């Protein structure tokens, strides 16, 4: 497959050329030399190098994805959760990607809401703030009040964003096919990653899926008063408009405000971790985009969880494997941990199990003597992830449907 296969109309050709220019600008396009597509070959031939290429590879990747916009930023955000796939350094750099997008004009937003809800906005809401409180890659959020006075937020999809994303996904698929032929990129399984990403992003475009996810989380945690998920209003929601309860709180990333509120951050971390442990091990259904902006500390100390468009599902078999990993780590049994990791990642027959076991033993030696209250769990997990990356062992998200990130 060649890149031109994704560019069947003039708009696609222009966008594909733009993608290539950005990759070249950041020194990320050497692997495209095998393409026969004229525009790419001409740009590669005329490229003389820019000072930006002096930046480390992870930084150049983040900058390039930012320049390329919505679809590529979303891809980078997904990859930031896969240090086993792209490596800890790249994953850390991609975690800084921001999906901010200029807000649509108020008249455009009102027209979208009225078209989707099939009635004037004044009949839907007592108040509707026409200025967005936030705008991201797929949609923007507005404060509003229901006729009964309850405060809500209304998430409105950007007009035309679906067409833009579909076009970019086609280009990404062609780029992935080219990258798959290169030894330096083949280990990252670009075709499988993009295929999974396409499913995730197309589902995220349907706000009804996020509404159903919210309903599922609220049902799962109905008896737990320490965590709150926004209540969605189905009669004021469609595939492109989502109305839900407004949660007011402090982002867990705002350390200054948390300290001002005298929040016990260690207790908060345990509380939040407990919620996600229940999602994974009790329900097999978890929030798959838990960055600080999506987790709030509410007035009564409850944890509020936002943006449930991206969720993950884990089957019983994978849950059992994860438990085996935790037990092996707790027992500092490196050979057993190596074997479970090999099974869960579907390691090749020629895996150096002895070497993997020895490297894991080094992690135990470094972190195993730490007191429980001082245990650096983040450092330990990063070390294990780094080892998995070095041995080309990838978690099954891109291998099977056992544990895949979806949006509904």
Phi then psi dihedrals of residue 128, to 5 deg: -145, 115
Number of neighbours of residue 364 by Cβ within 10 angstroms: 17
For 48, counting Cβ atoms within 10 Å of its Cβ (0-12 exposed, 13-18 middle, 19+ buried), the class is exposed
Decide if 224 is catalytic. no
Strand pairing partners for 134? 141
Torsion of CA 154, 158, 161, 162, to 10 degrees: 40
CB of 187 within 8 A of CB of 394?
Answer: no
CB of 248 within 8 A of CB of 298?
Answer: yes
* Catalytic residue chosen out of the listed positions 168, 206, 289, 359: 289
Catalytic residue numbers? 289
């Amino acid at each position: 497959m060649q890149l031109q296969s994704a560019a069947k109309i003039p708009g696609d050709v222009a966008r594909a050329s733009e993608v290539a220019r950005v990759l070249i600008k950041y020194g990320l396009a050497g692997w495209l030399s095998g393409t026969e597509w004229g525009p790419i070959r001409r740009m590669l031939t005329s490229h003389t190098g820019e000072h930006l290429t002096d930046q480390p590879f992870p930084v150049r990747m983040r900058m390039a994805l930012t320049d390329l916009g919505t679809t590529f930023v979303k891809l980078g955000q997904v990859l930031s959760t896969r240090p086993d796939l792209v490596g800890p350094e790249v994953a850390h750099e991609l975690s800084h990607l921001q999906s901010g997008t200029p807000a649509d004009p108020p008249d455009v937003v009102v027209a979208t809401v009225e078209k989707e809800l099939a009635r004037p906005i004044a009949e839907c809401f007592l108040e509707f703030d026409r200025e967005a409180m936030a705008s991201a890659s797929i949609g923007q959020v507005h404060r509003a009040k229901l006729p009964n006075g309850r405060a809500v937020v209304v998430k409105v999809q950007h007009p035309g964003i679906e067409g833009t994303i579909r076009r970019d996904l086609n280009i990404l698929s062609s780029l992935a096919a080219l990258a798959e032929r290169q030894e330096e990129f083949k280990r990252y399984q670009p075709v499988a990653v993009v295929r999974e990403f396409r499913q995730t992003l197309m589902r995220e475009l349907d706000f009804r899926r996020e509404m159903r996810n919210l309903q599922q989380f609220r049902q799962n945690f109905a008896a737990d008063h320490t965590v709150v998920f926004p209540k969605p209003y189905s009669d004021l929601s469609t595939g492109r408009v989502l109305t839900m309860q407004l949660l007011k709180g402090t982002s867990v990333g705002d350390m200054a405000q948390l300290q001002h509120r005298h929040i016990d951050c260690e207790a908060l971390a345990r509380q939040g971790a407990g919620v996600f442990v229940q999602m994974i091990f009790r329900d097999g259904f978890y929030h798959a985009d838990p960055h600080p902006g999506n987790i709030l500390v509410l007035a009564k100390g409850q944890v509020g969880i936002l943006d449930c468009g991206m969720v993950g599902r884990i089957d019983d078999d994978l849950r059992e494997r994860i438990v085996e990993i935790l037990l092996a780590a707790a027992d500092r049994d490196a050979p057993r941990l190596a074997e479970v990791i090999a099974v869960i990642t579907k390691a090749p027959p020629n895996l150096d199990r002895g070497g993997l076991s020895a490297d894991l033993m080094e992690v135990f030696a470094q972190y195993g003597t730490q007191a429980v209250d001082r245990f650096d769990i983040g450092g330990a997990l990063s070390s294990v992830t780094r080892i998995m990356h070095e041995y080309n062992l990838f978690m099954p998200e891109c291998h099977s449907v056992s544990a895949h990130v979806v949006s509904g």
